């Protein structure tokens, strides 16, 4: 039997004062594929050369103003912030009503800032594609993009259609159609458990099969910044996880001291806010990552070059103390059950005798601060093992089993 293709609605967000020909081109492509293109115009200057689905004045009104007031803003930067806010609210409402299936942004630097702002408000799972002249330039940072969006770098500028950018626009329009056709809401078939880790931690070798034997699906989070722990925080807020095993919570120290693997100021907060059960350990908390090449790292610090992109530098005892204080403050606010499992003999491959970041004194200071600052309802368990020992993983699962037995915890939308 021939499968009937269902019409999808694809939002195109752009500025029609600068990119009208390009928007019309991708609109025609999308509609030729049997889908609906919903054009949102967030332009400021002049007039739109054709009628969009959502006008710029409607965008401005969604941001609690009007287009004439926006045009009176002396600088285009603040004006675009307003329009991006209005467009984001409109698209989010459309998503919440399940009226859209994908989002496509088209633009130069202004249109890219607009498209990225809209996409950041949308959950993981909804297809997002930004077609941009600056997609892979130094202007785009991890924090500026949505956690699961795609970027298509234009090889030439968008100033009308030509043989080169036509090829790129065809690819983008074809891609967003295919993404809209195949995408679906994330609905777990089994309860999901998130586990944070890095390559120098080995507990997943035991934890993952033990969780799977219990009927859970394991989602591994590479705790290396905004697209690691930052993604975890977003997914927790989407209520996708039954529990979180945040055993590599090291992005806390990265954030405090400007490490390259920063995940945002709200790291280690979402599970507490949502009441999601969590087991936390200070994996990799004795160091953070340098933001430049190895030769520029502080000479007074111990340094480990993992590869040319990843350079770890040892945290001082005072920095570790600050990280412990921050961890305690965040976990004390948790609305749900939380346990901290503290491996006394080391926190990763580098933190053991004979290795570069071995630091029993720093670990002892960290533990002392936790004991002084943790709320009594946050259970702190000390374990006389290294984090990479099998017995550590077994203890995690023991605590997990106890936690699950104490209450009915599940994600909001797993299949029954």
Residues 168, 304, single domain; the answer is: no
Which of 133, 163, 182 represents a domain boundary (last residue)? 182
Confidence grade of residue 183 (pLDDT, cut at 50, 70, 90): confident
Residues 163, 199, single domain; the answer is: no
Residues 269, 357, single domain; the answer is: yes
Which of 162, 182, 202 represents a domain boundary (last residue)? 182
Which of 125, 155, 182 represents a domain boundary (last residue)? 182
pLDDT tens track for 96-131:
999 999 999 999 999 999 999 999 999 999 999 999
Say which residue, 6 or 216, is predicted with more confidence: 216
The pLDDT of residue 1 is above 50 = no
Say which residue, 142 or 313, is predicted with more confidence: 313
- Sheet containing 241-246: give its strands across: 217-222, 192-197, 241-246, 278-280, 338-343, 379-383
In a domain, 246, yes or no: yes
Average pLDDT over residues 221-229: 94
In a domain, 357, yes or no: yes
Residues 173, 200, single domain; the answer is: no
In a domain, 232, yes or no: yes
Residue 84 to residues 76, 89, 100, 333: CA-CA distances in angstroms? Answer: 12, 9, 18, 32
Residue 186 to residues 6, 125, 397: CA-CA distances in angstroms? Answer: 19, 6, 26
Residues 276, 347, single domain; the answer is: yes
In a domain, 219, yes or no: yes
List the structure tokens of 358.
């071995």
Residues 15, 38, single domain; the answer is: yes
355: buried, middle or exposed (CB in 10 Å: 19+, 13-18, 0-12)?
A: middle
Residues 196, 159, single domain; the answer is: no
**In this prediction, what percent of the chain has a pLDDT beyond 90?**
90
* DSSP category for residue 199: T
* Cα(20)–Cα(97) distance, integer angstroms: 28
Angle between helices 204-213 and 390-405 (to 10 degrees): 30
In a domain, 411, yes or no: no
pLDDT tens track for 385-401:
999 999 999 999 999 99
Residues 130, 230, single domain; the answer is: no
For the entire predicted model, the pTM comes to 0.86
Mean pLDDT score of the chain, rounded to an integer? 94
Q: How far is CA 85 from the centre of its chain?
A: 20
Confidence grade of residue 415 (pLDDT, cut at 50, 70, 90): very low
Residues 150, 296, single domain; the answer is: no
List the structure tokens of 219.
């989602």
Confidence grade of residue 202 (pLDDT, cut at 50, 70, 90): very high
pLDDT tens track for 364-385:
999 999 999 999 999 999 999 9
In a domain, 187, yes or no: no
225: CB partners within 8 A, 6+ apart: 142, 251, 254, 260, 261, 262, 263
pLDDT tens track for 233-245:
999 999 999 999 9
The pLDDT of residue 406 is above 70 = yes
Average pLDDT over residues 184-194: 91
In a domain, 74, yes or no: yes
Residue 388 to residues 139, 310, 350, 358, 400: CA-CA distances in angstroms? Answer: 39, 21, 11, 14, 18
CATH code, 78: 3.40.50.12020
Domain of 117, in residue numbers: 9-182
pLDDT computed for residue 410 by the predictor: 54
Residues 210, 141, single domain; the answer is: no
pLDDT computed for residue 141 by the predictor: 87
Count: domains in the chain: 2
Residues 308, 242, single domain; the answer is: yes
In a domain, 414, yes or no: no
pLDDT computed for residue 130 by the predictor: 97
The pLDDT of residue 408 is above 80 = no
Residue 103 β-bridge partners: 11, 128
Confidence grade of residue 185 (pLDDT, cut at 50, 70, 90): confident
């Amino acid at each position: 039997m021939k499968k009937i293709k269902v019409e999808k609605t694809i939002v195109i967000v752009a500025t029609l004062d600068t990119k009208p020909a390009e928007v019309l081109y991708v609109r025609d492509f999308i509609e030729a594929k049997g889908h609906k293109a919903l054009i949102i115009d967030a332009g400021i200057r002049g007039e739109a050369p054709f009628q969009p689905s959502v006008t710029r004045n409607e965008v401005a009104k969604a941001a609690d103003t009007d287009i004439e007031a926006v045009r009176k803003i002396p600088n285009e930067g603040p004006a675009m912030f307003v329009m991006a806010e209005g467009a984001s609210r409109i698209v989010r409402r459309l998503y919440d009503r399940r009226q859209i299936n994908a989002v496509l942004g088209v633009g130069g630097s202004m249109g890219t800032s607009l498209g990225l702002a809209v996409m950041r408000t949308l959950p993981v799972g909804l297809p997002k594609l930004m077609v941009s002249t600056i997609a892979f330039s130094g202007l785009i940072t991890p924090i500026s993009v949505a956690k699961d969006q795609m970027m298509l770098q234009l090889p030439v500028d968008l100033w009308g259609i030509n043989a080169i950018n036509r090829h790129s626009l065809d690819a983008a329009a074809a891609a967003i159609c295919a993404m809209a056709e195949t995408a679906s809401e994330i609905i777990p078939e089994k309860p999901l458990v998130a586990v944070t880790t890095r390559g120098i931690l080995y507990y997943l070798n035991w934890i993952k099969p033990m969780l799977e034997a219990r009927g859970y699906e394991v989602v591994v989070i590479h705790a290396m910044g905004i697209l690691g722990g930052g993604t975890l925080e977003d997914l927790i807020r989407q209520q996708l996880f039954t529990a979180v095993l945040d055993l590599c919570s090291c992005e806390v120290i990265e954030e405090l001291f400007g490490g390259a693997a920063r995940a945002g100021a709200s790291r280690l907060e979402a599970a507490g806010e949502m009441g999601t059960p969590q087991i936390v350990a200070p994996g990799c908390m004795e160091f953070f990552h340098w933001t430049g090449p190895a030769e520029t790292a502080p000479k007074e610090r111990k340094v480990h070059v993992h590869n040319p992109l990843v350079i770890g530098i040892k945290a001082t005892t005072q920095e570790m103390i600050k990280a412990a204080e921050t961890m305690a403050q965040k976990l004390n606010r948790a609305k749900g059950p939380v346990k901290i499992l503290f491996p006394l003999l080391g926190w990763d491959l580098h933190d053991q005798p004979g290795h570069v970041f071995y630091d029993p004194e720093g670990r002892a200071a960290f533990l002392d601060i936790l004991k002084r600052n943790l709320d009594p309802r946050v259970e702190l368990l000390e374990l006389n093992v290294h984090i990479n020992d099998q017995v550590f993983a077994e203890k995690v699962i023991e605590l997990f089993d106890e936690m699950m037995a104490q209450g009915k915890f599940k994600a909001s939308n797993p299949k029954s």
